[in-house]
Amino acid sequence: MSEENRMACALLIKNARVFDGSAVREGLSFVGIADNKIGFVAGSAVSASREIDAAGRFLMPGLIDCHIHLLNMWTAKDETTMAADIERELPKRLNDFLTAGVTTVKSVGDSEEDILRVREMLARGDIAGPRLFATGAAFAAP
């Protein structure tokens, strides 16, 4: 890591126990973030425009759920009930993923039109949730 990267951080998470996906790093670390990417993980602090004190809590990569059914295909049987579910219930389901540390999901078997609309809503910031990959509607042998 260059000293240049350490100087460019917009967010500093300090005093974090870091799990890097393979192991927990020794001691407490300082993690610098710039342009929504980790710029460095170090044992000493630098200044940043925004700081978060992790106070010894764990910091780890976001989790990925590769097989979910995001849309309510059990009770939302038509356009009206699906639209109501997307407006009223979906934001809570999406928030539950974020609260659990899931930052990316792949939703399988959902109606293509509806799931792509949800993905666009996420991209515009109309609703908060994990990054969404979608496979579209399912098909099976008779």
pLDDT value for 116 = 95
What is the reported pTM?
0.76
Count CA within 13 A, CB hemisphere, residue 36.
0
Q: Which residues pair with 105 in a beta bridge?
A: 65, 132
pLDDT value for 4 = 47
pLDDT value for 95 = 97
pLDDT mean values, one per 10 residues, the chain (142 residues)? 59 95 94 90 87 96 94 86 94 96 94 94 97 85 78
Using only the alpha carbons of the chain, give its radius of gyration: 19
Q: How far apart are CA 135 and CA 142, in angstroms?
A: 20
pLDDT value for 45 = 76
Tokens of 136: 């579209």
H-run or E-run covering 81: helix 79-88
